[in-house]
């Protein structure tokens, strides 16, 4: 989610003083110390996940019944689980899964949200009314209810998890984009563009869209944090990523018995900490981005 | 305003129909059905029995006919009967709703008190270490998966310290006593409330900051009013009103989050009921829950919008 | 808000919190009348439908609704309850039940032969759709009633107010022990006027389940608990405990927590016992008695779907069992619980003394697979449905062992509703299954092979003959040879890939005398049957 920091200034021609605004934004972001720390932590996590095959010494799924439930040691940095699998290897591979679930799910929801929101906001009238009712409907679907139902119909798998979370979490972004479009579409620069015959698609994406990039980025960042938590909740209910594929969520679920909570803390501290750290970092980055890009929003 | 509310209510009807149609058809696609789910995995049952039982529950009808039956019952103010227990769905829900409302209500109060307090302090001390640590605390609250927080709370407060009961609503079989009930409530309400604290905190902080920069606050200060008076009389009073709208935004997530918390603490509310119904493929109960939750979400959205317009005269609905 | 008001709020809050926290967990229990003499048991959610429709409410039936006779907790024979005695003039084709005199329903009405006739008919009535109807398949007139050609069971007749005659279609010397015990008696005066198809919706099941047992229904709070009060007029003597509470739980971890904090005294066994990973922790709780090795009477095995031709060669099935180091899995993953099995029946008297032990031998497994022409590139769909950690770990271990000899399974976790679909449609290749075998080889889920659902098209006529032979005698010595021969055939054919017999560890609070003592005397946990556990003698210390 760091890309947004490098959005070229050209994209903001609609606002008064483009260049200085971005420099200001960057300054504001850099002043948010928690966001900076979050960014560093997230980068390390992403790096570890990408390099998982290299940094993980053992296979994340191969078991070793002679080395079960071992506490952290020099051979197994984070110990082994109840079937002798190396926890460190599972953590880094699990990071791949959990972070990509977050990323893919939020990409899906952002994409749908932008398309529906901008069409509704730009077109207005009946189209807006119809699309907003659809949005209301998806919003009124209790997401957990839908996720459980869909996951048990399609069968629980990592792709379905991404898909389901993505498909059900777009209304927030759609509403945001629509709101912004509605307020911008009567402004001078849009009216001017329309009067010289610029096609609507171009107006939407060349003139209006750059104005909502900040808001959408902030919302998407929080959305990603949420998606990672959703994956964990789904795993808790047994509907998330399935064994033996590790994810932080299902590792934490597997540590649910109290004998593990009490006697084998390395089995829950590691995945628990990873989820909390990842979500916390992303949330801080989101908070920093909000201060930087969208200071007036209080979402 | 009245017309606006009426129109919104009318618009909700097709939304509710849409939701129930979709959920009904999706739920019918779940592998297995109520009859099969009720048979223990240890003793499979003969085909003819399954057929009989399906016929009895109406599961052998085509799906659109089943939906038609359900809507027919709905129009008569009846949500059908639970496949699992035979009780009417309305009484199944009515028996469990108060528990969920209690849990949600107390969690909301915890979230509001904690969130507003932390938000006000961190705004008044913007960019101080206090602001940073409260921000950190608030974000930590939304970053811990609530099932994990619940597990840790049970482990620490009931298993290790033995201070509070591990699960349930009250000591089973005792005459209801409020103190007993509250003791059972502390852990789940806290687990549910903590995750919602952050949104109140962030909203309060932003709102207080906005008000602080207003002219009338500067005027009040210029008049020589004491700092405490300015804070309480001018800043807080104006800043906290909009925070009320966050309640509307929070309600749906509170309702969803209650499901997980109820499972962990075996809190006998409608969230636990819903999970049991999904496991048991008890579609009348699933539908009852979905209908109720959709109504709650739509109502919260409406209430939020109304509050916005009441609190901010600039927003007008025609 | 003034600072004084604020501090008052803070103080009140702290005070309330402090009071709440300072109360020990059980203190509130002592305030309720009769709490000292209340036994609290765990009960599983979703088991409320009553004995006609659910397979998991038996422990409630034992105390509220009763049958003519229940199985003794020791597993040998049955205990006469509502029937005082019974006899068969023709070696098991006709049965005459003499009812106990003076038994009253909890509402004071007398229990009579009319109730017995009503109950048997209700179980078989197709409009009721009871899942126990097949238990009465041997009763004369069963098929006609099921097919709609008759409106009642021809074979069940009232002789006089306290005598009932039941005629069977064939000689069944063990009919009372194996079939009749599943039927709980229902009150005709309360249920007789309800349309059979609407019986399940009757408030009887949740508001006031009137029975004849040692405890009376007083209250049901949905998803929370069922409260029962002592039946002072119980025909076997006034129960010692004043109240019995069944607290309803949806999952095992919560039951474990409630046991260790003293919120309940007796656990449920439906859905699993103490997880083996938790045994050690529970044993450390000073207030609990843990029975770690209670036999579950449950053989666990690899199920083969014989519709798939590549599983039809017995050598392939034998190879898979040779390939799995079962001792190692039991010692490590299963923490020493469970006993190797090489055939279906857990009871020693029903096992042949010369079973092949299938010792771990991967080399032999590879050889057998090679001889049978196994294709190592094949991916085998493998289902399982026990979602607890130990079973998941076990499946992971099995996957690894099988992969080592070239059998690549792809595990797929099913939920309880889906497993029945798999049974019915056979939509799988292999699975990790366990089926209750129970006290008697003929009480299990599979009592013949050809055409049986759980045989998945496997058919052995000799086995079926032997099963029938086993049912035509009543003395164990005479029955044993038949079952021993079956056990040998199932062992050699590896009809299923026998793994081990499960244990179902149970834990009880020492506060209550009775449950731990009775459960420890069971030869194995008795599933899905009403058990006579001398509940009336259980007491709180």
C443-473 per-position pLDDT tens digit: 877 878 888 878 888 999 999 999 988 888 8
Inter-chain CB proximity B167 and C423 less than 8 Å: no
Per-residue pLDDT for A294 more than 80? no
pLDDT at residue C5, as a whole number:
45
Query: Secondary structure of chain B in the HEC alphabet?
Result: CHHHHHHHHHHHHHHHHHHHHHHHHHHHCCCCCHHHHCCCCCCCCCHHHHHHHHHHHCCCCCHHHHHHHHHHHHHCCCCCECCCCCCEHHHHHHHHHHHHHHHHHHHHHHHHHHHHHHHHHHHHCCCCHHHHHHHHHHHHHHHCCHHHHHHHHHHHHHHHCCCCCCCCCCCCCCCCCHHHHHHHHHHHHHHHHHHHHHHHHHHHHHHHHHHHCCHHHHHHHHCCCCHHHHHHHHHHHHHHCCCHHHHHHHHHHHHHHHHHHHHHCCCCCHHHHHHHHHHCCCHHHHHHHHHHHHHHHHHHHHHHHHHHHHHCCCCCCC
Using an 8 Å Cβ cutoff, are C118 and C186 in contact? Answer: yes
Residue C388 touches chain B, beta carbons under 8 Å: no
pLDDT in tens, C348-374: 899 999 999 999 999 999 999 999 999
Q: What is the complex's ipTM, to 2 decimals? A: 0.78
Structure tokens at B316: 């007008």
Mean per-residue pLDDT of chain A: 81
Residue A233 touches chain B, beta carbons under 8 Å: yes
Measured CA to CA, the distance from residue C35 to residue A288 in angstroms comes to: 57
**How many Å lie between the alpha carbon of C144 and the closest alpha carbon of chain B?**
14
Inter-chain CB proximity B179 and C20 less than 8 Å: yes
Query: What's the gap between Cα A152 and its chain centre?
Result: 23
Inter-chain CB proximity B179 and C200 less than 8 Å: no
Least CB-CB distance to B32: which of C40, C254, C417? C417
Domains along chain C with CATH numbers: 3-26+65-205 (3.90.76.10), 215-292+508-540 (3.40.190.10), 295-503 (3.10.105.10)
Per-residue pLDDT for A57 more than 90? no
Domains along chain B with CATH numbers: 2-75 (no CATH), 95-311 (1.10.3720.10)
pLDDT in tens, C376-433: 999 999 999 887 778 888 998 999 899 999 999 988 888 777 787 787 788 899 999 9
Least CB-CB distance to B33: which of C251, C417, C527? C417
Least CB-CB distance to A243: which of C280, C396, C415? C396
Q: How many CA atoms lie within 13 A of B18 on its CB side?
A: 15
**How many Å lie between the alpha carbon of C49 and the closest alpha carbon of chain A?**
24
pLDDT at residue B35, as a whole number:
78
pLDDT at residue C205, as a whole number:
92
Per-residue pLDDT for C115 more than 50? yes
Q: Per DSSP, what are the bridge partners of residue C439?
A: none
Inter-chain CB proximity C224 and B172 less than 8 Å: yes
Interval A124-139 mean pLDDT: 87
Angle of CA points B24, B27, B30, to nearest 5°: 155
Inter-chain CB proximity C19 and B179 less than 8 Å: yes
Interval A276-294 mean pLDDT: 87
Residue A36 touches chain B, beta carbons under 8 Å: no
Kindly give the parts of chain B with pLDDT less than 50: 318
Interval C47-75 mean pLDDT: 89
Interval A14-24 mean pLDDT: 60
The residue with greater pLDDT, C198 or B50, is: C198
Least CB-CB distance to A283: which of B29, B139, B207? B139
Phi, psi (deg, nearest 5) at residue A233 = -65, -40
Inter-chain CB proximity A258 and B155 less than 8 Å: yes
pLDDT at residue C9, as a whole number:
45
pLDDT at residue A145, as a whole number:
63
Per-residue pLDDT for C518 more than 80? yes
The residue with greater pLDDT, B124 or C319, is: C319
Query: What's the gap between Cα C189 and its chain centre?
Result: 30
| pLDDT-derived band at C275, boundaries 50, 70, 90 | confident
Interval C212-234 mean pLDDT: 93
pLDDT in tens, A191-209: 888 888 888 888 887 778 8
């Amino acid at each position: 989610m760091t890309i947004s920091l490098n959005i070229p200034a050209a994209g903001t021609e609609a606002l008064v003083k483009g260049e200085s605004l971005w420099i200001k934004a960057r300054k504001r972001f850099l002043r948010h110390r928690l966001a900076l720390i979050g960014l560093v932590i997230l980068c390390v996590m992403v790096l570890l996940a990408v390099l998982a095959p290299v940094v993980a010494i053992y296979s994340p799924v191969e078991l070793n019944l002679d080395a079960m439930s071992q506490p952290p040691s020099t051979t197994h940095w984070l110990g082994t689980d109840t079937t002798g699998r190396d926890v460190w290897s599972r953590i880094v591979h699990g990071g791949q899964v959990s972070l990509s679930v977050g990323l893919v799910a939020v990409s899906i929801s952002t994409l749908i949200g932008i398309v529906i929101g901008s069409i509704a906001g730009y077109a207005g009238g009946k189209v807006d009314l119809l699309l907003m009712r659809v949005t209301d409907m998806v919003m009124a679907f209790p997401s957990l209810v839908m996720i459980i139902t869909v996951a048990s119909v399609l069968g629980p798998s990592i792709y379905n998890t991404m898909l389901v979370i993505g498909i059900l979490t777009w209304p927030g972004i759609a509403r945001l984009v629509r709101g912004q479009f509605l307020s911008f579409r009567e402004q001078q620069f849009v009216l001017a563009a329309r009067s010289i015959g610029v096609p609507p698609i171009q107006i939407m994406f060349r003139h209006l869209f750059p104005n909502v990039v900040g808001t959408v980025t902030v919302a998407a960042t929080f959305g990603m944090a949420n998606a990672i938590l959703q994956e964990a909740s789904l795993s808790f209910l047994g509907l998330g990523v399935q064994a033996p594929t590790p994810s932080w969520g299902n590792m934490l679920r597997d540590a649910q018995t109290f004998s593990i909570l009490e006697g084998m803390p390395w089995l829950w501290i590691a995945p628990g900490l990873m989820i909390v750290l990842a979500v916390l970092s992303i949330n801080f980055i989101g908070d920093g981005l909000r201060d930087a890009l969208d200071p007036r929003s209080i979402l | 305003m009245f017309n606006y509310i009426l129109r919104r209510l009318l618009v909700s009807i097709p939304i509710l129909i849409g939701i129930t149609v979709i959920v009904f058809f999706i739920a019918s696609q779940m592998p297995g059905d109520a009859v099969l789910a009720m048979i223990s995995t240890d003793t499979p049952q003969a085909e003819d029995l399954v057929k009989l039982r399906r016929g009895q529950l109406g599961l052998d009808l085509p799906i659109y006919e089943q939906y038609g039956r359900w809507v027919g019952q709905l129009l008569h103010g009846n949500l059908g009967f639970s496949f699992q227990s035979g009780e009417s769905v309305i009484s199944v829900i009515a028996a469990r709703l108060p528990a969920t409302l209690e849990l949600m209500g107390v969690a909301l109060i915890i979230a509001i008190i904690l969130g507003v307090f932390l938000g006000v302090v961190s705004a008044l001390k913007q960019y101080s270490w206090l602001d940073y640590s409260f921000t950190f605390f608030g974000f930590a609250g939304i970053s811990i998966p609530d099932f994990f927080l619940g597990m840790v709370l049970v482990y620490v407060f009931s298993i290790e310290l033995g201070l509070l009961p591990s699960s349930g609503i009250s000591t089973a079989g005792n005459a209801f006593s409020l103190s007993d009930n509250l003791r059972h409530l502390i852990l789940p309400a806290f687990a549910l409330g903590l995750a919602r604290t952050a949104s109140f905190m962030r909203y309060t902080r932003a709102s207080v900051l906005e008000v602080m920069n207003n002219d009338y606050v500067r005027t009040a200060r210029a008049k020589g009013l004491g700092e405490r008076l300015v804070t309480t009389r001018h800043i807080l009073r104006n800043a906290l009103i909009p925070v009320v709208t966050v309640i509307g935004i929070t309600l749906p997530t509170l309702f969803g989050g209650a499901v997980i918390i109820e499972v962990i603490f075996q809190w006998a509310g409608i969230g636990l009921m819903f999970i049991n119904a999904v496991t048991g493929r008890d579609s009348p109960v699933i539908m009852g829950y979905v209908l109720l939750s959709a109504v709650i979400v739509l109502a919260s959205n409406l209430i939020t919008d109304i509050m916005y317009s009441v609190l901010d005269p600039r927003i007008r609905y025609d | 808000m003034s600072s004084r008001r604020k501090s008052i709020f803070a103080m009140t809050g702290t005070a309330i919190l402090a009071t709440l926290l300072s109360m020990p967990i059980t203190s509130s229990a002592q305030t309720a009348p009769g709490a000292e003499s209340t036994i609290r048991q765990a009960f599983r959610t979703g088991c409320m439908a009553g004995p006609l429709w659910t397979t998991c409410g038996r422990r409630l039936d034992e105390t509220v609704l009763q049958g003519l006779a229940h199985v003794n907790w020791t597993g040998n024979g049955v205990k006469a309850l509502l029937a005082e005695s019974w006899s068969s003039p023709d070696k098991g084709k006709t049965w005459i039940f003499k009812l106990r005199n003076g038994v009253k329903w909890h509402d004071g009405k007398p229990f009579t032969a009319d109730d017995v006739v009503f109950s048997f008919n209700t179980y078989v009535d197709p409009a009721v759709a009871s899942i126990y109807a097949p238990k009465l398949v041997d009763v004369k007139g069963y098929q006609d009633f099921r097919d709609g050609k008759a409106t009642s069971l021809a074979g069940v007749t009232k002789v006089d107010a306290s005598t009932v005659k039941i005629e069977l279609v064939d000689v069944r010397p063990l009919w009372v022990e194996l079939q009749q015990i599943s039927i709980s008696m229902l009150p005709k005066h309360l249920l007789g006027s309800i349309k059979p198809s609407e019986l399940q919706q009757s408030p009887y099941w949740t508001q006031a389940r009137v029975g004849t047992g040692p405890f009376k229904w007083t209250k049901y709070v949905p998803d929370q608990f069922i409260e029962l009060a002592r039946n002072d007029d119980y025909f076997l003597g006034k129960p010692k405990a004043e109240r019995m509470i069944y607290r309803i739980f949806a999952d095992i971890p919560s039951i474990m927590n409630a046991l260790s904090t003293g919120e309940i005294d007796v656990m449920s066994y439906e859905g699993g016992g103490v997880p083996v990973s938790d045994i050690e922790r529970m044993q450390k709780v000073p207030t609990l008695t843990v029975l770690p090795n209670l036999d579950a009477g449950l053989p666990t095995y690899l199920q083969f779907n014989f519709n798939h031709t590549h599983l039809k060669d017995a050598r392939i099935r034998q190879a898979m069992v040779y390939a799995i180091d079962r001792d190692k899995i039991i010692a490590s993953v299963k923490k020493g619980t469970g006993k190797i099995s090489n055939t279906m029946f857990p009871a020693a008297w029903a096992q042949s003394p010369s079973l092949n032990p299938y010792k771990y031998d991967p080399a032999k497994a590879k050889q057998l697979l090679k001889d049978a022409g196994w294709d190592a590139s094949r991916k085998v769909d493998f289902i399982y449905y026990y979602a607890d950690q130990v079973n998941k770990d076990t499946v992971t271990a099995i996957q690894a062992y099988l992969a080592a000899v070239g059998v690549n399974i792809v595990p797929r976790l099913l939920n309880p509703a889906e497993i029945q679909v798999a049974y019915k449609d056979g939509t799988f290749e292999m699975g990790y299954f366990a089926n209750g075998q129970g006290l008697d080889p003929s009480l299990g889920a599979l009592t013949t092979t050809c055409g049986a659902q759980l045989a998945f098209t496997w058919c052995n006529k000799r086995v079926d003959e032997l099963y029938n032979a086993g049912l035509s005698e009543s003395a164990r010595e005479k029955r044993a040879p038949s079952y021993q021969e079956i056990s040998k055939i199932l062992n050699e054919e590896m009809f299923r890939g026998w793994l081990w017999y499960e244990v179902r560890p149970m834990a009880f609070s020492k506060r209550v005398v009775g449950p731990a003592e009775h459960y420890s005397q069971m030869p194995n946990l008795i599933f899905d049957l009403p058990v006579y556990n001398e509940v009336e003698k259980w007491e709180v210390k």
